[in-house]
Amino acid sequence: MAALRAVLGCRGAPALRPPPGQSRGAAGGLLQRLGQWFYEVEVVMAWGERLRQHRLRSRNAYRSFLRDTYGENVAAAVFTLSCGGGVRFEGQDSWIRPESHWRPEVLRLRDVPVVALDLSGSPLNYNGLDNLVPLTRLQHLDLSGCPHLDDWALGRLHVFGDTLQELSVARCPRVTERGLATLHHLRELRRLDVEGVRVPSPGLVRILLEEMLPDCQVLGMDLGDGTGTPTGGEKPPA
Amino acid sequence: MLRWGRALRPRRGGAPGGAPGRPLRTAAPLSSDIFRELGRGLGRLGQTLKDQLPALEHGAGGWTPPGTPAGPRPPEEADVVVVGGGVVGWSVAFWLKALEGRRHGMRVLVVERDPTYSRASTVLSAGGIRQQFSLRENIQMSRFSASFLRNINEHLGVPNEPPIDIQFQPSGYLFLAPPQRAAKLEATVRLQREEGAQVALLSPTQLKAKFPWMDTEDVAVASYGLEDEGWFDPWTLLNAFRYKAMSLGVHSCSGEVQGFITSAEDTVSLQTARIKYVHIHMPDSLEYQPVTCAIVINAAGAWAEEVMGAAGLPGVLCQPPLPIQPRKRYVFSWHCPNGPGFSCPFLIDTTGAYFRRDGIAGNYLGGMSPPEEDEPDTSDLSVDHDFFQERVWPRLARRVPAFESLRPRGAWAGFYDYNAFDRNGVLGRHPKLENLFLAAGFSGHGLQHAPAVGRAVAELVVKGRYESLDLRRLGCRRLVEGEPLEEDGVV
Ligand SMILES: Cc1cc2nc3c(=O)[nH]c(=O)nc-3n(C[C@H](O)[C@H](O)[C@H](O)COP(=O)(O)OP(=O)(O)OC[C@H]3O[C@@H](n4cnc5c(N)ncnc54)[C@H](O)[C@@H]3O)c2cc1C
């Protein structure tokens, strides 16, 4: 394998031109070679990282073929289910989950709008939102514990401004107060769960959120009790 | 303090996104864990070994006897010499290495005269990125840059280093237009939407509903960027480019480019020439070092024209002169406890004054470009505080009544790399110096365009033509032909 070859140091690329000026004799030469060898290892690491990113990308890919055949709602539902999440269409009381025998059922619902999505703990990221943004009737969105959801992604939720009533971004490790600030677009929001989101001063952020979304109940970020801080180590204000 | 934290990279606890054992439903395949574990162990070992190395190419750290110039000496030869180590220079250097066909194929040297960056525009800027420009190329560059910054760890991440966090605040730009400019603004927004930017037009009523803290009386229409607009930390971006470029083998040296030797012999009937050597003057010494080079890139920002005036470039070849000059711009910072809250965008007033939120503790920063006839003296970076009191504050307080009472916190000044000809970057090959490429003159939007500019210039050098974005119209030809390519949205 190429990776192995690189690790073993048999590479095809020509060696670096000797660095100018300095040299420390044989020991320096050996150390330099070791340094280069580890440069190769870094390249292998970079491949590993790229592979991870490639996987993440393919799981978040936009499924335009589904949309073309079954419409936006089914496409969003299938995406969510394939991420291990749950879906509720308008008029339904129960969630469709990946465990249930969902395929025929979902594909029949092509003209029924999706009203609720549970994507908690899924690998959803900015690109994956491509599958969701066409939804026009979404009221409930659970994104809690999504490890790849970041502030850039939160910035895309404005498209649900007219409909979204409940949102959870609880325990999303990459969400910060900067992303939360974009939620002012969600005029209909009534419940926002931000428990465990890392922000510098939870009390202040909560006040700012409540001021920005006056009709919305903000959950999980309590004045100074430290739930919002990464370690809970911050002292509550006296 | 006032400037953004100079701490190099914010290290967040628990490496977001990379934390092992996160509650992913479907377990990641085993192989990636092997990579990860291998990475850690070998990374540590590699670092230990590297620390034993004599200060090799970059000379980072290491003791030097007093009296020797700080930083490494430049190599005697390089394939590409980049003049100026601001965000544009380092972006070009990074992309050259990213696009080079084979590893270690090209020796790239970045020359920066001030390693503390005390005057570089990059670190003195307001850190904004927007899609709302009036020139197609600028919109396209912004779209490219936004996507680059969004995926910055894929581009600039270095194995075994904490992820890069540029602290992007996605709050959008809000441009306000009075009745006489409403039609123009609407036309510009149409163009932006054509290019795929998400921009909303707001009527005064909608504006008031969204931002109740604003006085909308004389506003006819507003355009509001919904995605990929906001502000970020310029230091982090500059460092990320620099760190990544150096990890890919780019050489850097501190010194000033003070002269050139060209192939020109007879200076009278001269049509074109090539630069053969660059003379780098070492700091605090009388020495200079000639560096043989195949290609030179002028990324000296506000000083790009000064570089062209350096010794050794025949005057006839530098015609027409670059219309790029330093223009001093102030940024003021203030505190206002009941100012615009969390939803505060980067607001560009009808009068040209601007402000944005700075953090969440009731601090703001803003400024304004002075009228042409009142351009301040550019010999230093001193701040004229009356400018805030007399020009900026009254305008902002009219727009945001809460700003009538505020407490100034501080201010700084920086130089726009101002293109007096048409306020756009000058990009590409020099018309007469065959191996000189220009990348300067971005007039207040160079920070956000740096990722795209770097890639474009690197494509020209490596592939001989633009591939990802067609930026030919930003080339030197418009200067030669005297046809400006105007950008209306210069703040
Ligand atoms: C107040 C202010 C606010 C701004 N706000 C924004 C904004 O919101 N968004 C945005 O996108 N842009 C903004 N800008 C513009 C942006 O900062 C610049 O366009 C951008 O930083 C230019 O980058 P640069 O690398 O070309 O220049 P610089 O960062 O200035 O780098 C040029 C470097 O070249 C070095 N140099 C010069 N001559 C020589 C020489 N002869 N030898 C060696 N080195 C040399 C200098 O020391 C300098 O470090 C702002 C600028 C200012 C002043």
- Quick check: is A181 in a domain? yes
The answer to whether residues A33 and A106 belong to one domain is: no
| Side-chain-facing half-sphere of A56: CA atoms under 13 Å | 23
Dump pLDDT digits (tens) for B177-206.
999 999 999 999 999 999 999 999 999 999
For residue B468, the SS3 value is: coil
Burial A158-190 (b: 16+ CB within 10 A, else e): bbbeebbbbbbbbbbbbbbbbbbbbbbbbeebe
Dump pLDDT digits (tens) for A142-162.
999 999 999 999 999 999 999
Contacts of A38 in chain B (CB under 8 A): 42, 45-46, 49-50
Question: For residue B356, what are its two tokens?
Answer: 């944005």
- Work out the pLDDT band at A227, boundaries 50, 70, 90: very low
Residue whose Cα lies nearest atom 4 of ligand 1: it is B125
The answer to whether residues A112 and A156 belong to one domain is: yes
What number is the average pLDDT over the span B208-221?
96
Whole-Å CA distances, B288 to B248, B278, B424, B465: 27, 10, 33, 34
Spatial contact of B226 and B197, defined as CB atoms under 8 Å apart: no
Counting ligand 1 atoms within 8 A of each CB, the residue from B87, B121, B144 with the most, and so the one to mutate, is B121
More confident call, B105 vs B431: B431
Residue B147: exposure state from Cβ atoms within 10 A (0-12, 13-18, ≥19): middle
User: How many C-beta neighbours within 10 Å does residue A51 have?
Assistant: 14
Q: How far is B150 from chain A (nearest CA, A)?
A: 7
For residue B18, pLDDT beyond 60: no
Place of tokens 């999504």: A146
The answer to whether residues A71 and A124 belong to one domain is: yes
Q: What is the pLDDT of residue A5?
A: 40
Q: Do B45 and A121 touch (CB under 8 A)?
A: no
Q: What is the pLDDT of residue B23?
A: 40
Contacts of B226 in chain A (CB under 8 A): 155, 158, 185
The answer to whether residues A108 and A86 belong to one domain is: yes
Distance from residue B425's CA to the centre of ligand 1 (Å):
12
* Rounded distance between C-alpha atoms, residue B461 and residue B94, angstroms: 13
Distance from residue B124's CA to the centre of ligand 1 (Å):
8
* ipTM of predicted assembly, 2 dp: 0.83
Give the whole-number percent of chain B exceeding pLDDT 70: 85
The answer to whether residues A118 and A205 belong to one domain is: yes
The answer to whether residues A43 and A123 belong to one domain is: no
What number is the average pLDDT over the span A2-11?
39
Q: What is the pLDDT of residue B269?
A: 67
The answer to whether residues A107 and A50 belong to one domain is: no
Q: Best residue in B40, B244, B342 to probe A by mutation, most A CBs within 10 Å?
A: B342
* Domain end residue (candidates: A41, A59, A77): A59
Question: Which of A187-201, A217-231, B193-207 is least confident?
Answer: A217-231
- Quick check: is A144 in a domain? yes
Q: What is the pLDDT of residue B37?
A: 67
- Work out the pLDDT band at B39, boundaries 50, 70, 90: low
For residue B28, pLDDT beyond 90: no
Which B residues in the span 287-326 are in contact with A, Cβ-Cβ below 8 Å?
Answer: none
Residue B330's nearest CA partner among B126, B175, B489, B128 is B126
| Among the partner residues A42, A178, A211, nearest to B168 by beta-carbon distance | A178
What number is the average pLDDT over the span B419-432?
95
- Quick check: is A226 in a domain? no
Q: What is the pLDDT of residue A10?
A: 37
What number is the average pLDDT over the span B139-152?
97
pTM to 2 decimal places: 0.85
What number is the average pLDDT over the span B98-114?
90
Question: Which of B215-229, B309-323, B351-365, B394-408 is least confident?
Answer: B309-323
The answer to whether residues A215 and A162 belong to one domain is: yes
Residue B462's nearest CA partner among B101, B90, B91 is B101
Place of tokens 């992604």: A153
More confident call, B130 vs B104: B130
- Quick check: is A170 in a domain? yes
* Rounded distance between C-alpha atoms, residue B46 and residue B41, angstroms: 9
The answer to whether residues A98 and A37 belong to one domain is: no
Domain containing residue A104: CATH number: 3.80.10.10
| Among the partner residues B22, B150, B160, nearest to A147 by beta-carbon distance | B22
Question: Which of A37-51, A196-210, B141-155, B160-174 is least confident?
Answer: A37-51
Average model confidence (pLDDT) across chain A: 82
For residue B21, pLDDT beyond 70: no
- Work out the pLDDT band at B270, boundaries 50, 70, 90: confident
Counting ligand 1 atoms within 8 A of each CB, the residue from B109, B117, B118, B122 with the most, and so the one to mutate, is B122
CB–CB contacts below 8 A, A to B:
152
Task: Please give all residues whose beta carbon lies within 6 A of any atom in ligand 1, as ranges.
Answer: B 83-89, 111-114, 117, 120-122, 124-128, 256-257, 299-303, 307, 329, 331, 414-417, 440, 442, 444-448
- Quick check: is A234 in a domain? no
Question: For residue A10, what are its two tokens?
Answer: 């048999």
CB within 8 Å of B234: residues ≥ 6 apart = B4, B87, B122, B123, B125, B127, B447
For residue B230, pLDDT beyond 50: yes
Write B36-44 long-range contacts (CB < 8 A, 24+): B36/A48, B38/A44, B38/A45, B38/A48, B39/A45, B39/A48, B39/B159, B39/B160, B40/B160, B42/A38, B42/A41, B42/A45, B43/A41, B43/A42, B43/A45, B43/B159, B43/B160
Domain encompassing residue A45: 25-59
Q: What is the pLDDT of residue B267?
A: 61
* Rounded distance between C-alpha atoms, residue B464 and residue B264, angstroms: 24
* Rounded distance between C-alpha atoms, residue A151 and residue A166, angstroms: 18
* Rounded distance between C-alpha atoms, residue B478 and residue B472, angstroms: 10
For residue B107, pLDDT beyond 90: yes
- Work out the pLDDT band at A164, boundaries 50, 70, 90: very high
Average model confidence (pLDDT) across chain B: 88
For residue A18, pLDDT beyond 60: no
Q: What is the pLDDT of residue A143?
A: 98
- Quick check: is A4 in a domain? no
What number is the average pLDDT over the span B314-338?
93
Whole-Å CA distances, B63 to A195, A198, B141, B249, B287: 49, 40, 42, 22, 21
Question: For residue A201, what are its two tokens?
Answer: 């001063």
Taking the alpha carbons at both ends of chain A, their separation in whole angstroms is 61
Spatial contact of B86 and B442, defined as CB atoms under 8 Å apart: no
For residue A112, pLDDT beyond 60: yes
Domain count, chain A: 2
CA angle B422, B428, B432 (to 5 degrees): 95
Helices and strands in chain A: count of H runs, count of E runs: 8, 6
> Which ligand 1 atom is the nearest neighbour of the CA of B120?
30
Identify which of A16-20, A88-92, A232-236 has the greatest average pLDDT: A88-92
Q: What is the pLDDT of residue B113?
A: 95
Dump pLDDT digits (tens) for B333-386.
999 999 999 999 999 999 999 999 999 999 999 999 999 999 999 999 999 999
Q: What is the pLDDT of residue B57?
A: 44
The answer to whether residues A49 and A123 belong to one domain is: no
Contacts of A148 in chain B (CB under 8 A): 17
Residue whose Cα lies nearest atom 2 of ligand 1: it is B125
Contacts of A56 in chain B (CB under 8 A): none
CA angle B448, B454, B459 (to 5 degrees): 140
What number is the average pLDDT over the span B35-48?
68
Residue B108's nearest CA partner among B157, B142, B57 is B57
Kindly identify which residue of chain A lies nearest to residue B40, measuring between CA atoms: A45
- Quick check: is A233 in a domain? no
The answer to whether residues A147 and A79 belong to one domain is: yes
* Rounded distance between C-alpha atoms, residue B188 and residue B202, angstroms: 14
What number is the average pLDDT over the span A2-18?
39
> Which ligand 1 atom is the nearest neighbour of the CA of B280?
42
Q: Which amino acid is at B339?
A: G
Residue whose Cα lies nearest atom 10 of ligand 1: it is B445
The answer to whether residues A91 and A111 belong to one domain is: yes
Q: At what angle do helices B136-150 and B446-463 cross, to 10 degrees?
A: 90
- Work out the pLDDT band at B422, boundaries 50, 70, 90: very high
Q: What is the pLDDT of residue A33?
A: 77
Q: Do A49 and B227 touch (CB under 8 A)?
A: no
- Quick check: is A3 in a domain? no
